[in-house]
C-alpha cells in the first residue's frame, strides 16, 4: 500500500468515526447539455447521489464577501463516495433546502472533497 492509499484509508476511518456529525445529503450532478442532431433534442439529465457529508461553517476570517459569503457553508465528502467530475451547475439538497455548488477542492491524496455551497 502506498502513501496515497494510506491517507485514503485514514480519511475513511476518521469520517466513519464521525458518527452523528455526518448528515445525509443528495448531491445532484448536472452535466453539460447534449445535443442530438438526428432528433434535435437537447438533454440535461441530472444524476443524484445519496452521500454522507460533514457540514462545516466558514470561520469569520475566511469570509471575504466576494469568494466566500457569510451564509456559505462547506461539505466534507469522502472522494470514494463521490467519484465524479464536479461542476458549478451541481447542487446539494438537505431536506427541502437546495445548496448550489460554488467551488470545491480535493486533497492531494484524493481522499476528501471540500465543497463550498450557497443557498
Q: Which whole number is the average pLDDT over 10-34?
A: 89
Look at residue 37 in the predicted model and tell me its pLDDT.
86
**Centroid of chain to Cα 84:** 10
* Residue 110 neighbours by CB distance under 10 Å: 15
100-113 pLDDT per residue, tens: 999 999 999 999 99
Confidence of residue 28 (pLDDT cuts 50, 70, 90): very high
What's the half-sphere exposure (Cβ side, CA atoms, 13 Å) at 74?
20
Nearest to 94 by CA among 30, 24, 5: 24
Which superfamily does CATH assign the domain made up of 3-118 to?
Answer: Bacteriophage SPP1 head-tail adaptor protein (2.40.10.270)
Residue 97's pLDDT band (boundaries 50, 70, 90)? very high
d(CA 85, CA 92): 14
Q: What is the mean pLDDT of residues 82-107?
A: 96
Amino acid at each position: 500500500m502506498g502513501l496515497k492509499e494510506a491517507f485514503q484509508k485514514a480519511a475513511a476511518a476518521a469520517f466513519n468515526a464521525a458518527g452523528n456529525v455526518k448528515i445525509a445529503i443528495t448531491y445532484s450532478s448536472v452535466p453539460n447539455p447534449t445535443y442530438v442532431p438526428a432528433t434535435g433534442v437537447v438533454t440535461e439529465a441530472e444524476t443524484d447521489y445519496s452521500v454522507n457529508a460533514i457540514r462545516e461553517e466558514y470561520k469569520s476570517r475566511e469570509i471575504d464577501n466576494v469568494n466566500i459569503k457569510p451564509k456559505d457553508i462547506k461539505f466534507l465528502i469522502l472522494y470514494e463516495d463521490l467519484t465524479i467530475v464536479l461542476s458549478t451547475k451541481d447542487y446539494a439538497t438537505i431536506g427541502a433546502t437546495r445548496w448550489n455548488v460554488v467551488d470545491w477542492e480535493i486533497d492531494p491524496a484524493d481522499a476528501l472533497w471540500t465543497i463550498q455551497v450557497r443557498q
